[in-house]
Structure 1
Amino acid sequence: MKKWFVVLVLGAAQFVMVLDGTVMNVSISTVVKDLDSSVTAMQSAITFYTLTMAATMLLGAKLGDIWGRKRALIVGSIVYAIGSLTTALSPSMAVLFLGWSVIEGLGAVLVIPAVAALIADNYSGKDRITAFATIGAVSGAAVAAGPLIGGFVTTYFSWRYVFAAEVVIMFFVVLSARKIAETSPRKAVRIDVLSVLLSAAGLVGIVFGMLQSKTWGWIIPLNSPVIGGVAIEPLGISLSAWFMVVGAVLLVLFFSRQRHLVAKGREPLLHVELLNLRQLRSGLSVLGAQYAITAGLFFMVPVYLQMTLGLDALETGIRIFPLSIALIVFSILGTRLSARWSPRRIVRVGQWILVASALLLLTAVDPELASIAFAAGMFFAGGGLGLLASQLGNVNMSAVTIKDTSEVGGLQGVFQNLGSSLGTALIGSILIGALATSFAGGVAQSSLPDAVKTTISQKTSGGVEIVPAASVEQIGTDAGLTSDEASQLQQIYTDAQLSALRVALFGLILFAVLSLLLSRGIPNEAPVRASRETAAKKA
């Protein structure tokens, strides 16, 4: 047990970091009600929690090199605990956003790279492979356990207790950190502020543009912001598109800046030549796609279960349970298979399972989401994600020498959280945009009076807010509709939510297929075969 104490401590920190990405999704309707907010605001908070980490993760990794990984772990854990306490006590969405999306995110950027680097410092050989696989399994378990933990605590106590418990866990990490060895030397380097600003602004621009596409439109302006009576839509193009374009340009400038710093003999924020390593580039890309699929699925399904079917947090967690249990089981299975199968074979099997599960979920969509086929789709989705989780951490770390483990840990954090941000922002925007289109089309084709159609068309021109389907009839009655008209309006809205879910699931299929194209650089050599070939060469 003493041998694996470091894994226990670092695993606890990793569990909390990942848990926060899924624990709130099943509590969306409760948090919206408690804080008198909206689903759109919750989508932004969920997105920016991971986006904060993605935008500042490279800085966190570099600070770990300068301060030392152990000090970065301790400082990050303290900052994270402060953010968790702020979130637990938040009286409004603005305070929750500050505590969760900002402060916790800033703490995590110090912790996550330190976890990867300290694993490399404390273990070697087969033990290191086991340790990285364990951390990967812990991450998978956190993704899986998040909905169940969040559902149970929110239903029987309060979602606030989840964040209060995180304070206690991070306190344990801080107290236990003194027993963790640190062998990698600290680096006396200067952080390039311009690089930090370029990378952070670039990532924020791209993700924020996707997040706002549901309101402002992707390319053609729909509901542009207005300043001084003038709609902000440069050259007749949606502001969302401009945010994404500017973000992409800033990232190009960031990479150019890193090469310039290296040419001048200065320390870059990121050694971009690492991305020339095919194995690392492929591993990081698949990792990002994996987290995008996970985040998208964990946003769209809970929203439908809670806002359309009216399920509470625990009932939502139970509906997601097949995915949760499969993710844990297949993470363990993937770890064991790695003794006989190559990483690429395991990853490709996981990816094909993801594609098949997304197709199964799409065909199984019905108003109640209670069929065996839907449960099977969720189970196999968890299975595919579990196989990926068991491999990618070691694939990425084994692509570099020990001196680059901290930087690769930061890169992993960037791709994990950028994937989560893009998944929530993109799939969420597709869901909300499809809801608006489907609802407007349903109303236009209905037998509702023309005056009602005109009024609804005007009020939904800027998009449709996701509200509990059961409340739509009352909203219609309050607006002066007859009982029959209000009931018809509710049915149209319910059908629109179901249609939007189908569209979002199709988007998930595209993500899953794309991830197949990204895995070509994953090592295709099985450990047993590799050891035999090595022995043959020595003979």
Structure 2
Amino acid sequence: MSSQAKIGKWTPVTVLAIAQFIMVLDTTVMNVSISAVVEDLNTTVSGVQLAITSYALVMAAFMLTGGRLGDILGRRRAFAIGLLIYGAGSLITALSPNLSVLLVGWSLVEGLGATLVMPAILSLVSATYSGKDRAIAYGILGGIAGAGAAAGPLIGGYVTTTFSWRYVFAAETVIVLGLLAIGLRKVANPAPKGGRISLVDVAMTASGMAAIVLGILQASRWGFILPTSPPVVNGTEITPLGLSPVPFIVGIGVLILALYGRRATRSEARDGQPLLRPSLLGISQMRNGLSMLTSTQLVLGGMFFTLPLFLQVTLEKDALQTGIEILPLSLAMVASSVVGSRLAIKYSTRTVVMAGLLVLSAGLLILVGTISPDFQSTEFSIGMAIAGTGLGLVISQLGNVIMSSVDENSTGEAGGLQGTAQNLGMALGTALIGGVLMAGLTTGFKDRVASDPQIPAQVQQLVASETKDGVQVVSKSAAVATAQAAGLTPTEVETVSQHYMDAQIAALRKALAVVAMLALLGLFIAKRLPAEPAGSAVNDQTSLG
């Protein structure tokens, strides 16, 4: 094959990878631009956090619907429509004069566009490539997805600091227009499958997934079981039976999805067209691939919750400096994803994933050792690069595992399931590791103050009283200001604030150690992945029509 032909062969995945990159980049950019958005739109931090949460909810609620629409409309058409909607949302976001318009443009319109684009990307790779080439293409997409999440803080930090957060979303609009004008024709156009969608199915899956993700996202704030800072409606705290609302919200979501499962099973038995066929989850390769993906995204979510907090709050680095520190992770993920997709041709998926998890865990343990006031950037960069290498090896395998478990007629549904698993895993990682961090910080701070004989009893009582509902992660300067506002003497301020920072470092180390433990636990899931190289007759199965 000539070099020109080789280049042409990989043009479709290049187009799809660019679309994947801007989808993943979006949320991370908004996360590092919160302060700038608050000032520019004259709103509050809680208002921007509402937009971020709403974006996640829209994605979680309608990802399955977006995947099914791709089957019905045709995957390239769904990709194009999704890009058009996403581009419109990006433009609205870039021009937002206030929070309300931001909520519509970013949280709703962009979110809906992404639910069409992301499953279509996965389906189009399946339609364009087969065997070993498909494994390589999914490896590239996995690396780009991870790189987008890791590079977001750097890109967002640089553009926000140098220009404006609005430029990121304006640039996304231009990229989308370029993809529609030039890139779309390079992508395969498989025939639409046709069919219809039940609005009842959409309502049930959307409300069920939205409830589960909402509960998970709010768990670190409202409390997992016992209430910490529960929501307040008309001056009344919402604490059913004296508990946090989280288990009730998640329980309602699970119940709705269980009812949908029964409805869909009956429909499939009658040769109906449910939004998602329950029999898909009966395919062991699909089920194991989704489990491994959720587990990996959980680890990724925990990392991206813990490490930016350490860099931006504990060390008080700005968004651009934080992005630079995270850059080794991004570069290593891209490189190892390409390598991993080629390793999968020779070695089994199970072997590559398990090796990746071990490398990832080693990198995380190195990072645990770097979390200290005496920060060493070189050691941190080494840990990030090793962790990124492990993540890239893992992520490079999972798209192919999931999408190769079904035939071409089911790739839209499989893509919707993969997108849902990604969102659910990230939400679980943020909530779980956030809960570990907050609990460790609160307990550690209170214990340190209570056991220090140099701190007067009245100050110990004041700290115990003020922290009964938990402690937030703030910088040392903010902790000092809070202690001063409480009327403590200069000596007491220094002692208490130092105890707080010591507790914060210990809690961050504990949280990241839990992330490393979760990565190791992923080995038990990885043992159930295919034992044959990607592209082999057994691995590249099409189990369900």
Common topology (TM > 0.5): yes
For 1:377, the equivalent position in structure 2 comes to 383
Q: Name which of 527, 541, 545 aligns with 1:520.
A: 527
Aligned mates of 1:527, 1:264 — CA distance in 2: 35
Aligned pair in 2 of structure 1 residues 111, 434: CA closer, same or farther (>3 Å)? same
1:71 is the counterpart of 2:45: no
For 2:158, the equivalent position in structure 1 comes to 152
Aligned mates of 2:363, 2:221 — CA distance in 1: 30
Superposed CA deviations along residues 331-382 of structure 1, whole A, max 9, x for unmatched, are 1211221231111110110112222222332233212442544333222211
Instruction: Report the CA distance between 1:386 and its aligned residue.
Output: 0.4
For 1:536, the equivalent position in structure 2 comes to none
Aligned mates of 1:387, 1:393 — CA distance in 2: 12
Aligned pair in 2 of structure 1 residues 83, 191: CA closer, same or farther (>3 Å)? same
The 5-angstrom pairing of residues 367-516 of structure 1 reads: 367-370=373-376, 372-446=378-452, 447-516=454-523
Aligned CA-pair RMSD: 2.9
Aligned mates of 2:100, 2:376 — CA distance in 1: 35
**The 10-residue stretch of structure 1 (379-388 or 146-155) with the greater mean CA deviation from structure 2:** 146-155
- Counterpart amino acid of 2:522? S
Instruction: Report the CA distance between 1:34 and its aligned residue.
Output: 5.6
Report if the CA contact (8 A) 1:26-1:316 is conserved. Answer: no
Percent of aligned pairs with the same amino acid = 46
Aligned pair in 2 of structure 1 residues 174, 511: CA closer, same or farther (>3 Å)? same
Aligned mates of 1:390, 1:333 — CA distance in 2: 9
For 1:130, the equivalent position in structure 2 comes to 136
Aligned mates of 1:429, 1:198 — CA distance in 2: 29
Instruction: Report the CA distance between 1:233 and its aligned residue.
Output: 2.8
- Counterpart amino acid of 1:82? A
* 5+ long unaligned stretches in structure 1: 533-539
Aligned mates of 2:511, 2:43 — CA distance in 1: 23
Superposed CA deviations along residues 231-267 of structure 1, whole A, max 9, x for unmatched, are 4333333222222222222222222221022123320
Instruction: Report the CA distance between 1:327 and its aligned residue.
Output: 0.9
Report if the CA contact (8 A) 2:139-2:340 is conserved. Answer: no
For 2:541, the equivalent position in structure 1 comes to none
Instruction: Report the CA distance between 1:527 and its aligned residue.
Output: 5.9
Report if the CA contact (8 A) 2:140-2:334 is conserved. Answer: no
Instruction: Report the CA distance between 1:46 and its aligned residue.
Output: 4.5
**The 10-residue stretch of structure 1 (91-100 or 489-498) with the greater mean CA deviation from structure 2:** 91-100
For 1:319, the equivalent position in structure 2 comes to 325
For 2:312, the equivalent position in structure 1 comes to 306
The 5-angstrom pairing of residues 273-312 of structure 1 reads: 273-312=279-318
**The 10-residue stretch of structure 1 (5-14 or 451-460) with the greater mean CA deviation from structure 2:** 451-460
Q: Name which of 81, 90, 94 aligns with 1:84.
A: 90
Aligned pair in 2 of structure 1 residues 215, 147: CA closer, same or farther (>3 Å)? closer
- Counterpart amino acid of 2:437? L
- Counterpart amino acid of 1:365? I
Aligned mates of 2:239, 2:50 — CA distance in 1: 22
1:363 is the counterpart of 2:374: no
Report if the CA contact (8 A) 1:52-1:105 is conserved. Answer: yes
Report if the CA contact (8 A) 1:436-1:463 is conserved. Answer: yes
Aligned mates of 1:267, 1:298 — CA distance in 2: 38
Instruction: Report the CA distance between 1:80 and its aligned residue.
Output: 1.4
For 1:60, the equivalent position in structure 2 comes to 66
Report if the CA contact (8 A) 1:282-1:520 is conserved. Answer: no
The 5-angstrom pairing of residues 25-424 of structure 1 reads: 25-27=31-33, 31=37, 45-90=51-96, 95-176=101-182, 178-180=184-186, 182-226=188-232, 231-370=237-376, 372-424=378-430
Instruction: Report the CA distance between 1:280 and its aligned residue.
Output: 1.4
- TM-score (norm. length: structure 2): 0.88
**The 10-residue stretch of structure 1 (439-448 or 318-327) with the greater mean CA deviation from structure 2:** 439-448
Aligned mates of 1:94, 1:494 — CA distance in 2: 37
Instruction: Report the CA distance between 1:13 and its aligned residue.
Output: 0.7
- TM-score (norm. length: structure 1): 0.89
Report if the CA contact (8 A) 1:114-1:406 is conserved. Answer: yes
Aligned pair in 2 of structure 1 residues 316, 224: CA closer, same or farther (>3 Å)? closer
Superposed CA deviations along residues 456-478 of structure 1, whole A, max 9, x for unmatched, are 44444333343332233233334
Aligned mates of 2:298, 2:424 — CA distance in 1: 8
Instruction: Report the CA distance between 1:451 and its aligned residue.
Output: 4.4
For 2:542, the equivalent position in structure 1 comes to none
Aligned mates of 2:31, 2:198 — CA distance in 1: 36
Report if the CA contact (8 A) 2:135-2:344 is conserved. Answer: no
**The 10-residue stretch of structure 1 (427-436 or 88-97) with the greater mean CA deviation from structure 2:** 88-97
**The 10-residue stretch of structure 1 (194-203 or 92-101) with the greater mean CA deviation from structure 2:** 92-101
Aligned pair in 2 of structure 1 residues 214, 417: CA closer, same or farther (>3 Å)? closer
Aligned pair in 2 of structure 1 residues 90, 251: CA closer, same or farther (>3 Å)? same
Aligned mates of 2:45, 2:301 — CA distance in 1: 15
1:19 is the counterpart of 2:48: no
Matched residue SS, 1:22? helix
Matched residue SS, 1:518? helix
Aligned mates of 1:425, 1:174 — CA distance in 2: 37
- Counterpart amino acid of 1:501? L
- Counterpart amino acid of 2:511? A
- Counterpart amino acid of 2:497? Q
